[in-house]
């Protein structure tokens, strides 16, 4: 079984993914970290030196590569993975997709702390971050909402969210 966690930056995909993989005894793969290790470059540097289009191509290739691995695993995708190259349809065909849905206010408060590592958020004030999230979430929602399972990720702890996913996915 392959479980894909999808959703906006700051929705908790990586934290929940680690807990979920632990509960199920599955391997955990963070797609961004896998890309960084494979290319020996940070996501930040890939964006900076090669641009977003290149990153999206690499992201699509890497998603397919990790999907070909044997065994059970939980993958936390990047916030944009679902929205390019029909990746959401690919993930839906290859396993169970889970959208960690979070309110704009939750995302703003989390991302204001961690925007340094996220190239799409560089240099934004809190107000600009808020407007960016409203606009981009609105564009991306149609992809995220193709997930087979949708879980609210605002209040519950990562472990509780992981438990909810275990029940909903029936794994």
Using CB under 6 A, list all residues that contact ligand S3P: 9, 13, 32, 43, 78-80, 118-120
For the bound state, the minimum distance from the C-beta of residue 148 to ligand S3P, rounded and expressed in Å, comes to 19
| Comparison of 9 and 164: residue with beta carbon closer to ligand S3P | 9
For the bound state, the minimum distance from the C-beta of residue 69 to ligand S3P, rounded and expressed in Å, comes to 20
For the bound state, the minimum distance from the C-beta of residue 81 to ligand S3P, rounded and expressed in Å, comes to 7
| Comparison of 1 and 45: residue with beta carbon closer to ligand S3P | 45
| Comparison of 9 and 88: residue with beta carbon closer to ligand S3P | 9
Q: What share of the chain is helix, strand, coil (3-state, %, to 5)?
A: 60, 15, 25
For the bound state, the minimum distance from the C-beta of residue 170 to ligand S3P, rounded and expressed in Å, comes to 26
4 vs 38: CA distance, rounded Å: 20
92 vs 82: CA distance, rounded Å: 10
124 vs 132: CA distance, rounded Å: 9
**Contact residues for 164 (Cβ-Cβ < 8 A; gap 6+):** 151, 156
């Amino acid at each position: 079984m392959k479980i894909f966690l999808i959703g906006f930056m700051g929705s908790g995909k990586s934290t929940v993914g680690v807990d979920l993989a632990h509960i199920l005894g599955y391997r955990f793969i963070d797609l961004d970290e896998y890309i960084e290790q494979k290319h020996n470059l940070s996501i930040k540097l890939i964006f900076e030196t090669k641009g977003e289009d290149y990153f999206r191509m690499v992201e699509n290739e890497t998603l397919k590569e990790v999907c070909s691995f044997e065994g059970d695993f939980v993958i936390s995708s990047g916030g944009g993975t679902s929205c390019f190259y029909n990746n959401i349809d690919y993930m839906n065909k290859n396993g169970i997709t889970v959208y960690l849905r979070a309110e704009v206010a939750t995302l703003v408060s989390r991302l204001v702390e961690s925007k340094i590592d996220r190239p799409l958020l560089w240099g934004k004030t809190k107000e600009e971050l808020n407007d960016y999230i409203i606009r981009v979430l609105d564009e991306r929602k149609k992809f995220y909402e193709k997930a087979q399972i949708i879980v609210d990720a605002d209040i519950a702890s990562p472990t509780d969210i992981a438990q909810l996913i275990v029940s909903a996915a029936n794994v």
